[in-house]
């Protein structure tokens, strides 16, 4: 049994990695990935004492999940910002979770094949693509891994009665909460495991006798046993609500009324089940509907009550129904939308842990219902590979959409409607590729869908600014700030536009407002430093420049910008100092060497200038401007 269990576990890991390995050819996605990795100064700095302190004190991205931040920092420390390795880490964490789930179920049920197929469904189901293929959702796979380790340790505690394993389980549960607070319901999952397959209620009832009071005692005792777990859940919930309110992620009641939330939650519970059986038209974001249909919510409520009634009716004959069904309901409860976070009605990633409960029901109930069938083994032997092949094919196809912004956002727009957030993101992707006119059209469509989208107006302002239509840019940024005065991109864009119009004092004020909202916005410190330098406020400019360097110690941009500004004012010696700062951070910076060469030319230090241009050609062979200057310098010698 032990050898078979290990062999099947290895098979699961190999299958999981093989299916998801294509993500190592994918890029980062311009949806939360910048906030978690690519544009996060703390994460881009890798592991450091300051980074660790930030991870444990920050509620960035509207969550407190320090272990998730540390995992991203570790990836950057080891691999830089090369996306393939970040994707590979998520794949390996997912594979480890698959292995642990199989070992956990097989160990406590001794049903090897049912456990294997639960883990296999968990491994390859298309609904789990989002959690694994999206770097920003590292928190899903990491928290699940710690959660399964906590459950495994809890089972060891139950079997050995050793409080060492209880403590280990509690610490791992805390680690799960520090990865993603969705696992606040794990103590209830433990109570469900106590019912089946651990059968602790039955054993305790037998020991207590038949009186009504005695029959309540096992449940109360098992609840008391988990009080430390519930206390940490409560603490995590309080911190999460604080972080989400502070980050503006939590919708207020005037935006999403309670009745609408309840309607959406009821429908979402049923939709997730439907998507489990028929995973079609999956998207990165399903927008919250403008109008909910009451009869759909009522029908969903009836369905949930009926299923729960059947589960309780047959709890003695099929005890796994209770564990599986309420595992699903309870673990989705924090993300079902009763407390609305973000603009989605549901999300694939929210099924990552909850579907385990439904998989348990499927893999145990089907063989039981087929008991006595003459060809039971043949049917199961044919059905299992067929389901595996179909799910693998759909998952592989779905993974393909995640290769970059264009394919993912275009697919999402194809399968959803009135999706103003993705219209914005697709427009940003087009704008970054130089398709400004097409991007502008998507931003206009986003405004049509949601006239209160500050993001869409800010993006319209950005395109207008790029076209040199400064008055139009001001109008769009003004609309964005009327909707949301704390919109960082709109404030920064307004500052940039005012600076381009020569209205430097007003531009300075805008950047100062940006930094009041987010003091860690390194680019705002850089831009403000340049403006203050132009206004002759050198001491204040130097302060913001140093702050920008501290926020992004591995980026030469702040030093380069300051050096170029000094050179434009004819202050070549000062410019050289900034270019040297840039080269200390990035010795292979072509821009720093080239601009340093130009500064040496202006200072008539020809040999040093020639050395800089020669270095540029080493780093970028055939660079025409560097070659031009080098030829000129050689001719004059």
pLDDT for 253: 44
pLDDT > 90? residue 24:
yes
Is the peptide bond between 376 and the residue preceding it cis, with omega within 30 degrees of 0? Answer: no
For 425-466, how does the pLDDT look when each residue is reduced to its tens digit (9 = 90+)? 999 999 999 999 999 999 999 999 999 999 999 999 999 999
pLDDT > 60? residue 61:
yes
Residues pairing with 346 in the sheet: 286
Identify the CA nearest to 123 among candidates 468, 466, 355, 427: 355
The percent of residues above 90 in pLDDT, for the chain, comes to: 69
The whole-number average pLDDT for the span 184-208 is 88
pLDDT for 215: 59
H or E stretch at 298: helix 294-313
The whole-number average pLDDT for the span 389-411 is 97
The percent of residues above 70 in pLDDT, for the chain, comes to: 96
pLDDT > 60? residue 251:
no
pLDDT for 255: 64
pLDDT for 254: 46
**Cα–Cα distance, 197 to 452 (Å, whole number):** 51
**Cα–Cα distance, 465 to 491 (Å, whole number):** 13
pLDDT for 271: 97
pLDDT for 218: 84
For 550-591, how does the pLDDT look when each residue is reduced to its tens digit (9 = 90+)? 887 777 888 888 888 888 888 898 889 888 988 988 888 899
* Per-domain residue ranges of the chain: 21-401
Cβ-in-10-Å burial (0-12, 13-18, 19+) of 350 comes to buried
H or E stretch at 346: strand 344-346
pLDDT for 211: 53
Cβ atoms 48, 69 nearer than 8 A: no
**Cα–Cα distance, 217 to 5 (Å, whole number):** 36
pLDDT > 90? residue 216:
no
Among 16-30, 194-208, 572-586, where is mean pLDDT lowest? 194-208
Among 369-383, 452-466, 490-504, where is mean pLDDT lowest? 369-383
Higher pLDDT, 375 or 419: 419
For 253-293, how does the pLDDT look when each residue is reduced to its tens digit (9 = 90+)? 446 778 888 999 999 999 999 999 999 999 999 998 877 78
**Cα–Cα distance, 106 to 493 (Å, whole number):** 57
Share the mean pLDDT of the chain. Answer: 91
Identify the CA nearest to 128 among candidates 83, 180, 93: 93
Q: Give the pair of three-digit tokens for residue 97.
A: 């979770």
**Cα–Cα distance, 616 to 590 (Å, whole number):** 6
Helix pair angle (138-160, 83-109), 10° resolution: 20
pLDDT band for 530, please (50, 70, 90 cuts).
Answer: confident
- The β-bridge relationship of strands 286-287 and 344-346 is antiparallel
pLDDT for 210: 56
Q: Give the pair of three-digit tokens for residue 579.
A: 């270019």
127: number of Cβ within 10 Å: 23
pLDDT for 247: 60
- Contacting residues for 596 by C-beta, under 8 A, at least 6 apart: 576, 579, 580, 583, 612
Among 39-53, 140-154, 296-310, where is mean pLDDT lowest? 39-53
Among 21-35, 186-200, 281-295, 435-449, where is mean pLDDT lowest? 281-295
Q: Give the pair of three-digit tokens for residue 163.
A: 């409080």
Cβ atoms 443, 427 nearer than 8 A: yes
Identify the CA nearest to 71 among candidates 183, 150, 146, 164: 146
Higher pLDDT, 571 or 498: 498
Cβ atoms 411, 401 nearer than 8 A: yes
**Cα–Cα distance, 362 to 391 (Å, whole number):** 15
């Amino acid at each position: 049994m032990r050898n078979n269990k290990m062999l099947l576990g290895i098979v699961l890991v190999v299958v999981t990695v093989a299916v998801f390995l294509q993500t190592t050819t994918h890029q980062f996605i311009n949806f939360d990935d910048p906030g978690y990795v690519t544009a996060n100064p703390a994460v881009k700095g890798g592991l450091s004492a300051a980074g660790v302190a930030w991870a444990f004190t920050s509620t960035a991205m509207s969550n407190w999940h320090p272990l998730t931040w540390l995992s991203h920092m570790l990836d950057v420390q080891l691999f830089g910002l090369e996306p393939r390795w970040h994707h590979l880490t998520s794949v390996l964490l997912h594979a480890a979770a698959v292995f642990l789930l199989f070992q956990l179920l097989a160990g406590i049920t001794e049903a090897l094949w049912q456990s294997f197929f639960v883990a296999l469904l968990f491994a390859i189901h298309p609904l789990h693509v989002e959690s694994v293929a999206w770097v920003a959702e590292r928190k899903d796979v990491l928290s699940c891994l710690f959660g399964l380790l906590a459950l495994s340790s809890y089972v060891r505690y139950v079997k050995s009665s050793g409080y060492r394993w209880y403590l280990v389980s509690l610490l791992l549960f805390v680690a799960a909460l520090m990865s993603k607070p969705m696992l606040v319901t794990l103590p209830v999952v433990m109570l469900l495991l106590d019912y089946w397959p651990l059968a602790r209620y039955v054993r305790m009832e037998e020991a207590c006798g038949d009186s009504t009071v005695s029959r309540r005692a096992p449940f109360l005792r098992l609840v008391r046993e988990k009080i430390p777990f519930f206390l940490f859940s409560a603490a995590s919930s309080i911190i999460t609500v604080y972080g989400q309110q502070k980050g503006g992620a939590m919708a207020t009641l005037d935006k999403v009324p309670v009745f609408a939330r309840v309607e959406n939650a009821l429908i979402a519970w049923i939709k997730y089940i439907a998507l489990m059986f028929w995973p079609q038209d999956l998207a990165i974001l399903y927008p919250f509907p403008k109008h909910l249909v009451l009869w759909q919510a009522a029908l969903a409520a009836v369905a949930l009550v009926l299923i729960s009634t059947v589960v309780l009716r047959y709890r003695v004959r099929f005890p796994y129904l209770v564990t599986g069904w309420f595992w699903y309901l309870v673990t989705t409860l924090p993300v079902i939308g009763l407390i609305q976070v973000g603009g989605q009605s549901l999300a694939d990633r929210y099924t990552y842990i909850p579907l385990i409960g439904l998989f348990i029901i499927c893999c145990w109930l089907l063989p039981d219902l087929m008991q006595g069938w003459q060809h039971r083994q043949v049917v199961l032997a044919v059905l299992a590979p067929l389901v595996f092949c179909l799910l693998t094919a759909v998952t592989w196809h779905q993974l393909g959409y995640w290769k970059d912004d264009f394919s993912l956002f275009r697919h999402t727009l194809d399968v959803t409607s009135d999706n103003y957030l993705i219209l914005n993101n697709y427009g940003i992707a087009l704008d970054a590729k130089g398709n400004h006119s097409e991007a502008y059209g998507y931003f206009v469509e986003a405004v049509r869908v949601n006239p209160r989208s500050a993001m869409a107006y800010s993006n319209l302002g950005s395109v207008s600014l790029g076209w040199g239509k400064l008055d139009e840019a001001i109008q769009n940024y003004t609309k964005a700030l009327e909707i949301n005065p704390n919109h960082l991109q709109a404030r920064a864009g307004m500052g940039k536009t005012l600076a381009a119009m020569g209205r430097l004092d007003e531009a300075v004020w805008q950047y100062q407002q940006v930094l009041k909202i987010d003091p860690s916005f390194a680019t705002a410190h850089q831009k403000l430093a340049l403006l203050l330098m132009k206004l002759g406020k050198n001491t204040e400019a130097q302060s913001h420049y140093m702050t920008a360097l501290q926020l992004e110690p591995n980026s030469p941009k702040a030093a380069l910008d300051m050096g170029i500004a000094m050179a434009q004012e004819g202050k070549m010696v000062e410019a050289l100092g900034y270019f040297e700062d840039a080269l200390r951070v990035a010795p292979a910076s072509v821009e720093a060497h080239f601009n340093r060469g130009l500064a040496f030319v202006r200072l008539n230090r020809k040999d040093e200038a020639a050395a800089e241009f020669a270095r540029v050609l080493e780093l970028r062979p055939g660079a025409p401007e560097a070659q031009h200057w080098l030829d000129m310098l050689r001719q004059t010698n």
